[in-house]
Structure 1
Amino acid sequence: MKKLITLLGILFVSTPLTHAQANCNPEPPSGLSPLAAYSIFYENYRSGDYEFALDYGRWMICAKPEKLEGNPRFSLLTQYERMAKIYQEIARSKEDPSEKRAYVDSALTVLNEAIELFGEDPKAKFDLTFDRGRFYQENYNNMDDGLQKAYSDYEQLFELDPQRALNMGDGYYLRQALNNIIKQDRTEDAQAFIDKVKPHAEGDALEFIEEKQQEILGSPEEQIAYFSPLVEEDPENIDAWKALESAYENLDNREKLNEVKLKINELEPTYDSALDLAEFARSNANYSNAVKYYKEALDRASEDAQKKDLYLRLADMHISLEQLSTAKSYVQDALAIDPNDGRAYIKMATIYGAAVTQCTEGRKLEAEDKVVYWLVIDYLNKAKNIDSSVANTVNQQLSTYEDVTPNSEDKFFTLNLENGQKITVDGSLRSCYSWINETTTVR
């Protein structure tokens, strides 16, 4: 009977919250003032005399004082955390299983009540949920389904603050939470967890998440079977569309891949989504579409480096479309941003070389055409003089063009030119060169 009375005494916080409030004593023990009772509680807590501290701490859980006169640093949340630890430490010291479990139950009730009282503060809720998860894991032998409850709390941490949870325990809590979801065959929950956490992950954590992503989705065909109904049900599910993109890419289904990329660009119109579409169109030799999406990317570009790169890509597309004067204007736009980029000068040389090819289609190369190659060489030399990083590329091209510049007969007899003389490449040579309108030097 004496043992039963003892157990009933320590279980006053083990029952539901309302019952506990009805049976606890909000007054400090032995007629002490709140400050005196707290001081005894704290000193015994600090020294590790947990059972004595418990006698002087229970009233705080019952009374729930927000302030303590004479102690401006008093925090009720801190007292809840201390009381939970006290019950847990006393439980560890007990031999009798029923007594040990009673103290464990009391500690858990204190933690649950703390979450109920202080859970509106995000940081407090995170900390308390973590404490409860650790408590479940450390005491799973003394409660029902303790490990599962621990993993559920770890899972909740990633709902509350995924970035903070990722950085805890070198990924331990990530592994415990995600492995548990997958073990329970909760595929949709696992995918939702991954979608929430992955944007914050890097290094080993990201690698682990990607491994688990593959594990839950299986083959590309299985991924398509899983995500296709999701986008039918919710056409704006951007994460599902991105998963389908990856699956169709792995299957090299370019028709479906194009459809998915278009949808992603519609739902999430970013610089990257437009650039991705442009590159995809370019890889399919669909240069007109590539131009369209490079221009979309240009409208969304926020940095000069992005814009310069897009101008050069647009120049490439217009070269492929044989729209050389437009290609030239894009190179000029790139040079306006960075006049020291050798790639732009090489691109201009390429455009002028293509002009000769276009202009001589169906006929032989003549002296007037060869003059354009002096201009090509001018741009190649300027490229390597202004940007040493492109010197090797330029040197590989120079000899090709030098071999087709005007020879002595072309210069002196056909064109009536002298070395050192300036000559303009424009419609005076041939009408097809009128858009070039640049001057070079006879040599």
Structure 2
Amino acid sequence: MGLISNKRKTPWTVIVGLLTAIIFYLSISWGCAPQQTVKKGMSLERKKAIEDSLRKAQQFEIIKYWSSGYEYYKNKSYGDAQKYFWKVIRMDTAMAYADTFHYKDIFARLANCYVRQNKPDSAQIVYKMGLKYFPNDIYLHESLGYMLRSKGQLEASAKQYEKAVQLNPKKTVDWKILAEIYVKLRETDKAINAYEKYTALKPNDRKALEILSILYKESGEEEKAIAKKEEILKNNPNDVDLMLQLGKTYGDLGNYQKARDLYLRILKLEPENKIALSLLAFSYMNLEAYTEAIQTYKKLMKLEPRNAEMLCNIASAYRMKKNYRIAKNYVRKAISIDPKYGLVYITMAQIYEASAADCINQKGGKVDFDDKLVYEKAYNEYKKALKDPAYITLAQQRMDAIRAMLPTKQDRFFNQGKKEPTSPCYKWIF
């Protein structure tokens, strides 16, 4: 009996145990879990509230420091201002509130504090720091570029101004500064490009246009150089100096007609402009307008009656007209004014040479003793010119050139006693 009784009790014990376990599990699942969820929800809200409070406190501090720094800055207390600006930068390391609280220019102001205290190196550091935060800030690029330029670091400075004009292509002052830097760096092509950009925006800046014209000339673009000067002249139609420059340029290129026209314009404004008169006469000579050249030189002689060079020029013009007698008379006047002037003897020699060549041509190229005597006269005039150091080289060259035309011993033997040419072709000499 006892054994049977024990066997019956065993199943009930197991059942009771199982029920107890189930109830315990359910109590945990339905009772404890919801309590934990509530606690987590409260923790997140509290955490957010704390973060908001800290953020507002930080913002308050940033505003306070910025306001204090700005007030000191306005009152030119730069040492105090910089301390507060640095506090703002340290508190807002990402410049997260720069837009919100309007202190995107903090680096510019901080750098200026150092500039005002004569601490350019510190200012330079601040400009560079600011560009890390605000790489498209034109003012920071300009300021850093200016500072580098003042230190002679032209290549580094150019990079800053290059960025500045890239950000604002219409800012004329930056193009001009950049162009000037390129000129100093001797980067002609870049300088030309920068000046072209600048003058397109500032077409009336004469100095810039003149520099651009010079750069064109240096780079071999002569036509562009002239066109730029013509552009300047168009805006300054009565500029005598510019017309002289442009006239000389045309003359150097062999365009004497345009040179002549410019000199005539000058003389309408200034009838007694000696430089214009001289260059006009020279242009006429090259245009083979010898009569006009003589008339112009004579106008100049009225202003400078004792100008031996002008007398020689008149003589040369008459020589080209084959009027050798008058040419010789003008040389004599020049000699009476300045007998030590080598040009007077060079001019006289050229008259003799031209006459001899002309007379020989009239005979079909046949050279006789008379012709050789005239060449000898030219040779002797060149010898006189050797006394003037300024004309030694030219005189010696011409003496060497005509030496073969001088009378030989044989010529003199067959023409004994004859010392002057008797041909009618040379009657102008006497």
- TM-score, structure 1 length as denominator? 0.48
Choose between structure 1 and 2 for higher RCO, CA contacts under 8 A separated by at least 6 residues: 1
Q: Which has the larger radius of gyration?
A: 2
